[in-house]
Amino acid sequence: MVFAYSEYQIRRVYGIPAANLAIPTDEASLARGQHLVEVIGACPECHGYSLQGRPDFLNEPLIGHIPAANLTPHQTGVGSVYTVADWERAIRHGVGRDGRALIGVSSGALQHLSDADVAAIIAYLQTLPPGKREIPPRQLGLLARPFILISLLLPEEENDIMPALLIDHNASHPPASEPGITVEYGRYLVLLTCVECHKADLGGGSEPGEGMNITTGGNLGRWTEAEFIRAIKTGRTPEGNSLNITYMPQNRLRHLTEDELRAIWLYIQSIPPVVRER
Ligand code: HEC
Ligand code: HEC
């Protein structure tokens, strides 16, 4: 049963129509694409500095050997063969070029990208210098199958095993996200960058590595906007704690712009406080 079902999910071919995207070429969009890739989408965290891939992204004998692809246009990289439609499916749907579900990707968050932003990401990726790094094919171990089943029980934003299983592939995407200091843009950024750890209600979790409560029901209820921005930019909270960067990717998030952090702050003020016994 476990085998048959997970085998079905591994072999299943998703027929996702090509998104109708206009790929920009102007400087501003390419800069936006780079910011989305490096800071918001965190691609280098898994695909490596310079995005030439990581052969050993996940290498656990029982689970399997899951490398993260070389994204550059070198012939060893997917950029040499990927079409715009392929990029969009991999990024927002978690589905590879052969139509099958990718494993270990972050499409649970990236599915929320607007058309304009996913287009800016693709535009930027197409400008990467070719980088030669051979990436071996994926191999699944014995325990990969039960993990795939377990992932179905997780809330959608936490399914980083096989996100394609839970993504609504027919959902419509916003054409653009208007950057600005607004609750809407703050919500957009939070869905892309914070929810995977801090959870959908931003109330956090109890395991190490799951984010803390960042609603106004936690410490943030006593912080000012300036203190919040300082905490993300410097890693020091008003309580005098240093954020544990093993778990909280402050080195990356400090590159969020001040306006982006102000938008996130506004969004946090707009949602219900979560109060949890710890
Ligand atoms: C949490 C880690 C992680 C993050 C963050 C991440 N990826 Fe990946 N990505 C992976 C892994 C692992 C694979 C290989 C999946 C597989 O082979 O099943 C992959 C595969 C891909 C593929 C498919 C390559 C192929 O073999 O066809 C593309 C395209 C891709 N990622 C693009 C991106 C882009 C663009 C970003 C940033 C916006 C990104 N990824 C962020 C882990 C990640
Ligand atoms: C990869 C997981 C991860 C992501 C992504 C993440 N965080 Fe965190 N965050 C954590 C963890 C874990 C902690 C607790 C750190 C510690 O114990 O020092 C934390 C702590 C915090 C704190 C300190 C709270 C306090 O009471 O001291 C703030 C503020 C915060 N995160 C904001 C954010 C925001 C805003 C985002 C999105 C822009 C974000 N985090 C994205 C994991 C994450």
Ligand 1 pocket residue status of 162, Cβ below 6 Å? no
Residue-wise pLDDT for 61-74, tens only, equals: 888 999 999 999 99
- Distances in Å between the Cα of 31 and the Cα atoms of 37, 127, 129 are 10, 11, 15
Ligand 2 pocket residue status of 144, Cβ below 6 Å? no
Question: In testing the pocket of ligand 1, which one of 12, 47, 51, 91 has its CB within 8 Å of the most ligand atoms?
Answer: 47
Task: Determine the distance separating the centroid of ligand 1 and the alpha carbon of 186, expressed in angstroms.
Answer: 25
What the chain holds in terms of domains, given with CATH numbers, is: 7-165 (no CATH), 183-270 (1.10.760)
Ligand 1 pocket residue status of 138, Cβ below 6 Å? yes
At 157 the pLDDT is 66
Angle formed by the axes of helices 27-35 and 115-126, to 10°? 100
Taking the C-alpha atoms of residue 102 and residue 167, their distance in angstroms, rounded to an integer, is: 12
Question: In testing the pocket of ligand 1, which one of 105, 124, 133 has its CB within 8 Å of the most ligand atoms?
Answer: 105
Number of the ligand 2 atom closest to the C-alpha atom of 219: 26
The pTM assigned to this predicted structure is 0.96
Ligand 2 pocket residue status of 141, Cβ below 6 Å? no
Number of the ligand 1 atom closest to the C-alpha atom of 57: 12
Number of the ligand 1 atom closest to the C-alpha atom of 45: 5
- Distances in Å between the Cα of 267 and the Cα atoms of 139, 174, 260, 263, 270 are 41, 18, 11, 6, 5
Question: 47 by DSSP, 3-state: which?
Answer: helix
At 278 the pLDDT is 55
Mean pLDDT (whole number) for 153-167: 80
Per-residue pLDDT band at 16 (split at 50, 70, 90)? very high
What's the chain's length in residues?
278
Ligand 1 pocket residue status of 45, Cβ below 6 Å? yes
Output the average pLDDT for the chain: 93
